[in-house]
Chains A and B, each alone.
Chain A
Amino acid sequence: MASLGKLAAQGAAATTLKSQNGGEYSARAIGFLFALWFSLFVAVLFLGTLIIVTVIEGAPKFSLNLFTEYSSSNPDNAGARAAIFGSVFVIATTAVLAIPLGVAAATYLEEFADKRRWWNRLIELNVQNLAAVPSIVYGLLTLGLLATVGFKSKNFVLAGGIALALLILPVIVIATREAIRSVPSEIRQGSLALGASPWQTVWRQILPSSIPGIATGSILALSRALGEAAPLLLLGALVYVTFDPTSLMSGFTTMPIQIFSWTGRPQEGFHELAAAASILLLVLLVIMNGLAIFIRNRFQKRW
């Protein structure tokens, strides 16, 4: 191999820059790219099919009745009014419980915790793990909590709000930490060098800069809570409710639970109702996601 690297005979004979083994457009490379596009196509195809099937099935029942009527044994005059109000109450409770707590915990972990201490590392690991605990387990936790405290009833707005707040708390903590972490350390150092205390730095510089990230994360977390049914099933939310909730102690059902309930009925009319309520849920979800993406793109500072 003494000729390693010698120009091929220093003549033009063997030198061509035409593809020797197919290059960027060999059959395998094109097949590979095709497979990649196919993967994406399948995902988008399913999303499209799901939306179309749901809209076609639910369209006949997607009327004013859905918003104004309570559920009924007759699918033709049943609506999701109680579920809509229930969802609003429960999600509002969830937001009030989870957001301040999540932001506070994230601020501590990001700005004040000494990572060399084992308990701070434990908290971090714990949050990562909680984010992946199955949602139904949070239902079991809340159920156990209510039994311990000695509540007779388990189906009330506050209980539902607690279960969902526990569920999304780690999500909010993680999103807030990401937002805080993206604030450059020069801002911190600049503030501290002017004699601000750590808390003043956090309150006046770090948190205001992180608000878009926190808002995005919180909205996405709440949209997840809005669609969540499993933990609420355990709190007996699958009940026949024909009244609007009025307080934290009112009985409630929510939209996902109402959909689940209608899905289980034999009459076709209820399946249409379930699809109609699904449309409403999907619309809300797209609005919340869109809002989150808008905030992220519009307000996120590029440092």
Chain B
Amino acid sequence: METNSPDQPASSATVRPTPSDVALPDQPDAVLTCDNVDVYYGSFKAVEQVNLGFGLNEITALIGPSGCGKSTLLRSLNRMNDLVEGARVAGTVSFMNEDIYGPGVDAIEVRRRIGMVFQKPNPFPKSIYDNIAYGARVTGMKVSSMDDLVEEALTRAALWDEVKDKLKQSAYGLSGGQQQRLCIARTIAIKPDVILMDEPCSALDPIATMRIEDLMQELRKDYTIVIVTHNMQQAARVADRTAFFTALPDETTGNRTGVLVEYGKTGQIFGAPNDKRTEDYISGRFG
């Protein structure tokens, strides 16, 4: 599988270099790695032979056409796939060199360390405060002051000023963008190391999307972020590195299986892709 290649300074006029592009090392300092990962649903192979490393304090975007398995891969990174009947992972996904599917590993602990934000905002039908406190309560986190934790998480998610006077009100009263930032706040409140985002802005309007993107730039200082997105401009705007996936039909069954085509710095992927398929996709000729 083709991965990183000699680095070309990103100089394409259409792509704004991400702030850290210059300082970005050639190879990511990976905290979360996939080695020969296949994901199956029953006998159907959804993703095949993925080798990827997600760098510490970097934002990595997974892009590609529908059905290329990028969301499936994302869900196998924190064992959310365990909740799907028949889902199975082959190969190794390791976090800090520990296999997250290894014996004795607790899926719940994995999810505590590797949080997730979903496509549609999914606040619980509880108060704003209880939404944030939920994770700390269920994971039995030692917290000196829950109020401080809630305030800090909401502040980090750039939501505190908007909701500080209505913490006890239902989270359903918030706008879609606010709800999504609440879900991000809820995730960072349990102090994960990695945050997975599954098309977090696809249900939001452009202004709310912009706020989330700004928030991601803030969060990357402390977290490793992996984002699946349909929106190529978004990947170009926010991601340090980008992985492009596509779906290849199986010759005998016709099932489409996702494969990783190319992975590199965002500037390189958008400016000087090595693979023809990547170029076709980002220039809009395909997908």
For the complex, is A43 an interface residue (Cβ under 8 Å from B)?
Answer: no
A17 x B191 contact (CB < 8 A)? no
Give every chain B residue within 8 A of A185 (Cβ-Cβ). Answer: none
Docked Cα-Cα span, A107 to B132, in Å, equals: 47
How many cross-chain pairs have Cβ atoms below 8 Å apart between A and B? Answer: 60
For the complex, is B192 an interface residue (Cβ under 8 Å from A)?
Answer: yes
Query: Which listed residue (B98, B107, B148, B223) contacts A5, Cβ 8 A?
Result: B223
Binds A, one of B108-116, B163-171, B232-240, B250-258: B108-116
Query: Which listed residue (A6, A10, A17) contacts B109, Cβ 8 A?
Result: A17
Docked Cα-Cα span, A24 to B108, in Å, equals: 7
Main secondary structure of the interface of A (DSSP, over half): loop
B108 x A23 contact (CB < 8 A)? yes
For the complex, is A194 an interface residue (Cβ under 8 Å from B)?
Answer: no
What is the distance, in angstroms, from A28's C-beta to the closest C-beta of chain B? Answer: 11
What is the distance, in angstroms, from A80's C-beta to the closest C-beta of chain B? Answer: 49
B192 x A1 contact (CB < 8 A)? no
Closest to B107 in A: A24
B152 x A1 contact (CB < 8 A)? yes
Give every chain B residue within 8 A of A129 (Cβ-Cβ). Answer: none
As a 0/1 sequence over residues 5 to 17 of chain A, the CB contacts with chain B under 8 angstroms (1 = contact) are 1111010100111
A1 x B95 contact (CB < 8 A)? no
Give every chain A residue within 8 A of B188 (Cβ-Cβ). Answer: 4-5
Give every chain A residue within 8 A of B104 (Cβ-Cβ). Answer: 18
CB within 8 Å for A5 and B191 given contacts A10-B56, A12-B97, A17-B98: yes
Give every chain A residue within 8 A of B140 (Cβ-Cβ). Answer: 20-21
For the complex, is A19 an interface residue (Cβ under 8 Å from B)?
Answer: yes
For the complex, is B88 an interface residue (Cβ under 8 Å from A)?
Answer: no
A15 x B152 contact (CB < 8 A)? no
A15 x B96 contact (CB < 8 A)? yes
Give every chain B residue within 8 A of A5 (Cβ-Cβ). Answer: 188, 191-193, 219, 222-223
Counting from the closest, the 6 A-B pairs by CB-CB distance are A19-B106, A23-B106, A23-B108, A5-B222, A21-B140, A17-B105
Q: What is the interface of chain B, defined by CB distance below 8 A to chain A?
A: 31, 56, 95-98, 100, 102, 104-110, 112-113, 139-140, 148-149, 152, 156, 188, 191-193, 219, 222-223
